Structure 1
Amino acid sequence: MTEPDGSEDRRHALERLHPGFLYTTARFMIFVACVVLLFVIGFRSWFLVMGALLLSAPLSFFLLRKQREAFAERVEGRVSRRQADKAKLRAALAGDDDQP
């Protein structure tokens, strides 16, 4: 029998992290990679930062689609739960409770 190499544990740990944190971290890493790439090419001063921003934005849009959608789903679920709780509270305050 083979022993686990820990990759499955790391995958589960990543799944437990907040999708917003993962998306923000990945976006920052893409930006830093663009800064390094443009620095090696020869960009300096504000051209370096502006170039990295302009390059990392479309890269993040295409490369981080899965993380962005997971974050949006989490936010949408939270909004739905809050709206349902709000509707329950309004019904209870209005006396429309179905409870005996």
Structure 2
Amino acid sequence: MSSPNSYFVPGFGISRAVIQNEIRYHCGPDAIVRPFTHQGRDGFLVTTAGPPLTKAQIEDLKAASREYEEKQSRRADEADVFVNQPIPVNQRIRRSG
């Protein structure tokens, strides 16, 4: 068995839930993925002893991510949930003096 390799996959268009669920299918049962920032770009760090993702597999992940996000937004519409609703948090008030 070969040693694990790590590489960066830009995250634009890829849902975290999708890549985490499908990475083992594409790269083997030992593959893991985590959020990562490389040179200021958000994406994912993939670690696997299996083959790296191909361009076609990345495109498949993007397509699956679009479907996932559309399904999630339809579900939110049905539940009448406002996703970007402000949430109050306890903040300390600064007092000068």
Greater strand content:
2
State the TM-score bracket (shorter-chain normalisation). 0.3 to 0.5
Report the TM-score, using the length of structure 1 for normalisation.
Answer: 0.32
